[in-house]
Structure 1
């Protein structure tokens, strides 16, 4: 590795970890650790929301997705503005009014304790899967660059994030996210410009090859939910993003860090709308890489595809200095999301479990101790999950599948509480049925291989699991409520 690239990367790692740790020297309460005392500026919160969106899943998997296929995955980003509008209109005011550090406090108020426990456990499982996928993708470019083993890189980066997340709290997370968000935007744009200026034939050649190979296609517009069509990805993206804004602790917690409700709304718009053009850049990088190696086929080793193409380009085709910048950008993207997940998971453990069932009304000192210990435990577990990701064909597909399963349809439960007069028994029955639907859709392919009749297999695309689970819970609960209300009348 050239000395300049190594210096850039080391300076970034030491700088960001040191910056995060610096927040631990301030006198803080548990509220400071989880919500920053509600005094953070809207622009920084918005950058943090954006940086949470743009993980290494985006930085590496989106270009890999565009390189291997087309722009079908970009349709996911198109659903974000609608989800953000719903969040600003309904979700932000709701959580600001409740003034609870937990996103799942509302479910307990609307139903009873079981709903809060169920939703918080689903959230913790989702975050473990997400952090594992991110740390695995972080390891790919360093493995290509230095030859270090992927497991060792996962462990080192995981521990680095855990240190400042555990010590600095939400303020460290948001301010480091802000720095990292700026860095990853600069790194992505720098990479795109390098491709444009080094491909034989220039920018026009990128568009010619991409159009010839139908790389800009958004997928089939048939109303088909069994394959990855435009409509399937759009519906999936809308449900995932509604879940992010409506019931994801990572986002809800940020609504509470703002000074006012209007500031929280501004930060939500900034973070969500900034992701749209940046994800466009990531997909364009993947398409440009396809054109770059199609025009110069001898540059790419045979058999190298998918998520590993972009790291290979960074290591072998970028000028000295740019490689260090891009490696730092990838780490910025991943570390920002992992630190957010660690902090929000620790908040869930304290608010939804420890304070309710183990030690009600804990002291400030005990609360801070639990938050730090929970941060450490979740960070270490995420490292284990990251090691389990080693060797998957597509980290993006694996993450989308796991997020659908672990979501548990909690968005459906949330909407049921928000939009209906459902009683607790109706909600319980609806969730049980929703979990059965999610289990069947997730495991049907395995059951078919073990001898189950193929006619009983899930006919829909894997990503529709979260959609059908959510709709099952909401529609069944809504239907039971209407039915029993009519009988009562």
Structure 2
């Protein structure tokens, strides 16, 4: 990191945060903190994208493409379908009731038990995920500054808490708008700089062809194997269920569009996200593939987490590491020679060279795995995984001065925006759905769904008290996220971990909301029982999966959770029919 990089990094981050605080300086009230108000469709759309596109997206996704190729993009194929359904059916109800959280609607439709259980599932899933989004940028600073990773997590986490507590929903959304602009500009710039760094003998078209030879451009997988994580079928089934639940029922996303100027503005913001998200993820994966191509003609590190190699060397194993490096570099040299010949060859000779290239790549990967095993044997505390370090290593080693600072600002901006949105939503749900609602229990078992009537009941003192409480819970959730982040290095890939955490809970939540919106005759008791059973079924399935008793892709957890809720609720309702509760929809 040169001085110019630090200047670019500091100006970008501080400027964005100050802008968000300045834009919301006159809106330090309960509405502005919990919902945000009168936001345009562009702010909503970019804010939704920024909340989802955390630092993990820009650290893990290129590494995912580097190791496994473009197939991960299939995970997002269900998003446009989900957005259309949410815009048509979910949004009108939320706007009609003028809710602070998505879970308020469930009490009116069912009862307090269903509302609290669903809100609890959200708090568990999003609380765990918030810890991961703090851990991701900590990797960056620990590598750049040679700091202890745990200490870095504490520093980053505390800074995010301070930023979020001082902001609230409107400040977060306004800030996220410009963070997303910086993120998109930075990633486009990184892509063109990577292409520019390729040698003259390797054009972009030849690089794409080489990526195809090495299996990185297999975008569509039509197989029906349940244990295959990323297929067309899983994306259009499990992906649709996951995206429906995430964008339609997860408060961290719902909160982004509840404060729109109008229903139309919120719909436009959602549709913008649905249309733009898949191309964006495709592009980020393509950046990872381009890094992979670059390292086919320039020798990569044998292990991308340099701190692990340094730790082994400090323990006296530098000689063994150098032997592995020499063997790895020899394989890379042979592969580079084969690639050089392949670029000039034609016909059958080219096909034979492709076999040689694949053979050398397999040998190189075997050597990498041996080094990972060796490092784990030397010190179990050394992280075996290094995929999250791949893009960062390339940026630090090969990007020009000034651009390094900008790309680090991209990753840090993503971390701040995503974590801020999550903590804000966790605090809103805790205060609105638990603390404030349970205060009414004993006074009145029902809650008026009309927002305006409930707002009139708040005097200035109680509103100030709730605002202070919201800020307190924002800080408490932030502290819990820090604790979770301290153990996040136990997993192999951050982007997968976040999606697994979501899949463990989102299917059940989605099943509850589908019944609420579309199955008018099913009442609270069968839904509550079905939801508990469904969540147990998902957790048992995941346990059996990690124990290798069964093999199933985690996206299918969403289908299982939602399916069990629907089936069991319908069955229980048929066995013991009851009079339905009042149903709220956009037509009422």
Query: Structures share a fold, TM > 0.5?
Result: yes
Deviation digits for residues 33-78 of structure 1 (CA, Å, limit 9, x no counterpart): 1122x31222111110111121112111111111110222101222
Deviates more, 1:349-358 or 1:363-372: 349-358
Q: Is residue 440 of structure 1 aligned with residue 441 of structure 2? A: no
Structure 2 contact 127–426 (Cα < 8 Å) conserved: no
Q: Sort the Cα spacing of 1:415 and 1:157 in 2 relative to 1 into closer, same or farther, 3 A.
A: same
Match of 2:509 in 1: 410
**1:284 to partner: Cα distance:** 0.1
Match of 1:44 in 2: 43
- Looking at structure 2, the residues matched to 27 and 309 of structure 1 have their Cα atoms a distance apart, in angstroms, of 42
- Looking at structure 2, the residues matched to 137 and 272 of structure 1 have their Cα atoms a distance apart, in angstroms, of 25
User: How many residues end up aligned between the 2 structures?
Assistant: 479
- Looking at structure 1, the residues matched to 302 and 18 of structure 2 have their Cα atoms a distance apart, in angstroms, of 38
Match of 1:245 in 2: 247
Deviates more, 1:8-17 or 1:312-321: 8-17
Once the two structures are superposed, the pairs formed by residues 68-107 of structure 1 within 5 Å of their partners are 68-107=67-106
Structure 1 contact 68–305 (Cα < 8 Å) conserved: no
- Looking at structure 2, the residues matched to 418 and 148 of structure 1 have their Cα atoms a distance apart, in angstroms, of 50
Match of 2:489 in 1: 390
SS at match of 2:35: helix
Structural RMSD (CA)? 2.2
| 1:292 paired residue among 272, 286, 294 | 294
Match of 1:320 in 2: 401
Deviation digits for residues 125-163 of structure 1 (CA, Å, limit 9, x no counterpart): 111222222222212232332222222222222222222
Q: Sort the Cα spacing of 1:73 and 1:110 in 2 relative to 1 into closer, same or farther, 3 A.
A: same
Q: Sort the Cα spacing of 1:246 and 1:27 in 2 relative to 1 into closer, same or farther, 3 A.
A: closer
Structure 1 contact 293–300 (Cα < 8 Å) conserved: no
- Looking at structure 1, the residues matched to 300 and 31 of structure 2 have their Cα atoms a distance apart, in angstroms, of 56
- Looking at structure 1, the residues matched to 227 and 25 of structure 2 have their Cα atoms a distance apart, in angstroms, of 53
Once the two structures are superposed, the pairs formed by residues 131-280 of structure 1 within 5 Å of their partners are 131-200=130-199, 201-218=202-219, 220-228=221-229, 229-280=231-282
| 2:476 paired residue among 367, 371, 377 | 377
Deviation digits for residues 347-383 of structure 1 (CA, Å, limit 9, x no counterpart): 1111101111247866111011111101111111111
**1:253 to partner: Cα distance:** 1.9
- Looking at structure 1, the residues matched to 301 and 543 of structure 2 have their Cα atoms a distance apart, in angstroms, of 41
| 2:430 paired residue among 331, 349, 359 | 349
**1:104 to partner: Cα distance:** 0.3
Structure 2 contact 101–428 (Cα < 8 Å) conserved: yes
Structure 2 contact 6–405 (Cα < 8 Å) conserved: yes
SS at match of 2:554: coil
Q: Is residue 428 of structure 1 aligned with residue 548 of structure 2? A: no
Deviation digits for residues 408-438 of structure 1 (CA, Å, limit 9, x no counterpart): 6111111112221212221123113202211
- Looking at structure 1, the residues matched to 213 and 507 of structure 2 have their Cα atoms a distance apart, in angstroms, of 41
- Looking at structure 1, the residues matched to 501 and 204 of structure 2 have their Cα atoms a distance apart, in angstroms, of 37
SS at match of 1:407: helix
Q: Sort the Cα spacing of 1:477 and 1:298 in 2 relative to 1 into closer, same or farther, 3 A.
A: closer
Match of 1:34 in 2: 34
- Looking at structure 2, the residues matched to 226 and 300 of structure 1 have their Cα atoms a distance apart, in angstroms, of 29
- Looking at structure 1, the residues matched to 95 and 126 of structure 2 have their Cα atoms a distance apart, in angstroms, of 23
Deviation digits for residues 201-253 of structure 1 (CA, Å, limit 9, x no counterpart): 13123212211112111353122222223312332221111002221112222
Structure 2 contact 545–552 (Cα < 8 Å) conserved: no
**1:7 to partner: Cα distance:** 1.1
SS at match of 1:390: helix
- Looking at structure 2, the residues matched to 300 and 85 of structure 1 have their Cα atoms a distance apart, in angstroms, of 45
Deviates more, 1:19-28 or 1:90-99: 19-28
TM-score (norm 2): 0.77
Structure 2 contact 221–232 (Cα < 8 Å) conserved: yes
Deviates more, 1:91-100 or 1:392-401: 392-401
- Looking at structure 2, the residues matched to 80 and 57 of structure 1 have their Cα atoms a distance apart, in angstroms, of 19
**1:107 to partner: Cα distance:** 1.2
**1:485 to partner: Cα distance:** 5.1
SS at match of 1:409: helix
Match of 2:356 in 1: none
Structure 1 contact 215–287 (Cα < 8 Å) conserved: yes
Deviation digits for residues 9-35 of structure 1 (CA, Å, limit 9, x no counterpart): 122233233334435642532112112
Deviates more, 1:426-435 or 1:194-203: 426-435
- Looking at structure 2, the residues matched to 203 and 408 of structure 1 have their Cα atoms a distance apart, in angstroms, of 41
Deviation digits for residues 100-140 of structure 1 (CA, Å, limit 9, x no counterpart): 10110111112111111111111111112222222222122
**1:483 to partner: Cα distance:** 4.9
- Looking at structure 2, the residues matched to 112 and 378 of structure 1 have their Cα atoms a distance apart, in angstroms, of 26
Match of 2:22 in 1: 22
Match of 1:451 in 2: none
- Looking at structure 1, the residues matched to 190 and 153 of structure 2 have their Cα atoms a distance apart, in angstroms, of 24
- Looking at structure 2, the residues matched to 436 and 256 of structure 1 have their Cα atoms a distance apart, in angstroms, of 31
- Looking at structure 2, the residues matched to 369 and 24 of structure 1 have their Cα atoms a distance apart, in angstroms, of 17
- Looking at structure 2, the residues matched to 108 and 298 of structure 1 have their Cα atoms a distance apart, in angstroms, of 56
TM-score (norm 1): 0.92
Structure 2 contact 101–432 (Cα < 8 Å) conserved: yes
Match of 1:329 in 2: 410
- Looking at structure 1, the residues matched to 489 and 275 of structure 2 have their Cα atoms a distance apart, in angstroms, of 32
Match of 2:388 in 1: 307
- Looking at structure 1, the residues matched to 522 and 280 of structure 2 have their Cα atoms a distance apart, in angstroms, of 40
Deviation digits for residues 248-278 of structure 1 (CA, Å, limit 9, x no counterpart): 1122223321111111111111223222221
Q: Sort the Cα spacing of 1:13 and 1:160 in 2 relative to 1 into closer, same or farther, 3 A.
A: farther
Q: What residue ranges of structure 2 are gaps of 5+ in the alignment?
A: 304-324, 326-367, 369-384, 442-456, 579-588
